[in-house]
Amino acid sequence: MDKKLNIFWFRRDLRLHDNHGLFRALSEDLPLLPIFIFDKNILDKLEEPEDARVEFIHNEIKDLKNKLEKSGSSLIVRYGRPEKIFEELVEEYDIAGIFSNYDHEPYGRERDKKIGELAEGKGIEFRSFRDHIIFDPSGVLKDDGDPYTVFTPYKNKWLKLFKRKMLKEHPSEEKTGNLLKISSMPFPGLEEMGFKPAGIEIPPGEFPENIIKNYDKNRDIPGIRGTTRLGIHLRFGTISIRNLMGKALDLNKTFAEELIWREFFMMIMWHFPVIENRSFKKKYENIPWRNNEKEFRSWCEGKTGYPIVDAGMRELNQTGFMHNRVRMITASFLTKHLLIDWRWGEAYFGKKLLDYELSSNNGGWQWAAGSGCDAAPYFRIFNPESQTKKFDPEHQYISKWVPEAGSEHYSPEIVNHREARERALSTFKSALK
């Protein structure tokens, strides 16, 4: 194609509405060609062909493509490695600029660096914009310029710096007239990429205002629908963080605080990328984990003999979701009761969670293990029985996921709570001297 054009690269921003980078790209004089890449570097690491996240992305991309075609344009959808695909695209089209939204995770940063270098070598401008967070990772720092490593002062500074105008929408859907006019483009099927439908129901990307209003009262009760279930939509950008944060600040400050936690963990991962594979607190690398594989399998399968733990793991395995309170209980059980390395649990959650986000998953697991920034101290060991009495006293949650609990058909406890607690305290205390 001889005519100069710009490209917008969809990644974790799968929507036409209030999409910052897309808005900026559509505001340029040149026609815009949208693209999406099913990235083999990411997909090749997935172990199960029935991965509900890939199916979700596939469905969202199909929907996006249909919407674009109603505007007389389409969406180029490729399957492969981004560098190779961009090498092909610069041969096929006369590209002036590549637009995208930031991806702050370590892989995304490295990928974008390579594409930026490729673009620069061809005289093409590569531009990225903030879209899936309110503040950049370096937007909320201590007065001396250092990153915060404790949440509360970070939150207080975040709220101090925050201005309501930061939530202003970018009306990208109003500028679709600037899209390149092309006919429908090919679309790879799930099976072509080695995947199959997972059969897992994805919660809708709607803002449940009543749940947000009562979030502070109901968020810790796993037996009821007390949380929004919007994690997967935030992860892949099918909803706008600006829109959601606005509702949170209006309806429930506790829910808004959870969204700020998300940004805190992203900020930590940005400034300390080594924590992707290592404890934030270096001395926690000295913990002599037991890493018993049989016990790990029992935990994964929800057969530990502790009903609240098993309920959480079965919910995760069957639905791709686990209630946040139960995430803390199951993570504490694995790292403290079983003395299994938090990285094992983090990787398992990474395979199963629909809303898996590296920084939040890593932050949550290191919090539970005591190894992270602003983490629970090593001597905080959740008692599954007392957690059950407090948050699932009528066994609504347990009855749903572990109906055989209390019967002769239920798994025996794989470890005694009191003995496991003493062992954990002794092990951590000795290793952290």
Q: Give the count of beta carbons closer than 10 Å to the beta carbon of residue 165.
A: 6
Point out the catalytic residue in the list 292, 317, 324, 383: 324
- Give the type of residue at 250: D
What single-letter DSSP state applies at residue 204?
P
270 is catalytic: no
Name 101's bridge partners: 129
Point out the catalytic residue in the list 50, 69, 173, 258: 258
Q: Give the count of beta carbons closer than 10 Å to the beta carbon of residue 166.
A: 14
Residue 259 phi/psi, 5-degree rounding, is -70, -30
219/29 Cα distance (integer angstroms): 47
The answer for residues whose C-beta is within 8 angstroms of residue 241's C-beta and 6 or more apart is 131, 132, 133, 134, 234, 259
277 is catalytic: no
Point out the catalytic residue in the list 9, 158, 261, 367: 261
140, two tokens: 């909320």
289 is catalytic: yes
Point out the catalytic residue in the list 158, 342, 344, 367: 342
The count of C-alpha atoms lying within 13 angstroms of the C-alpha of 149, restricted to the half-sphere facing its C-beta, is 11
Residue 309 phi/psi, 5-degree rounding, is -70, -45
Region of 145 please: left (phi>0), alpha (psi -120 to 50) or beta.
Answer: left
- Give the type of residue at 151: F
Point out the catalytic residue in the list 158, 365, 367, 401: 365
340/347 Cα distance (integer angstroms): 12
261 is catalytic: yes
386/64 Cα distance (integer angstroms): 47
381/332 Cα distance (integer angstroms): 6
Strands across the sheet containing 4-10: 76-80, 32-39, 4-10, 94-101, 125-129
CA 235 → CA 14, 329, 356, 423, distances in Å? 10, 23, 7, 38
379, two tokens: 């001597």
Name 95's bridge partners: 5
Point out the catalytic residue in the list 289, 292, 317, 383: 289
401 is catalytic: no
CB 23, CB 49: distance < 8 Å: no
- Give the type of residue at 387: Q
367 is catalytic: no
Q: What amino acid positions are annotated as catalytic residues?
A: 258, 261, 289, 324, 342, 365
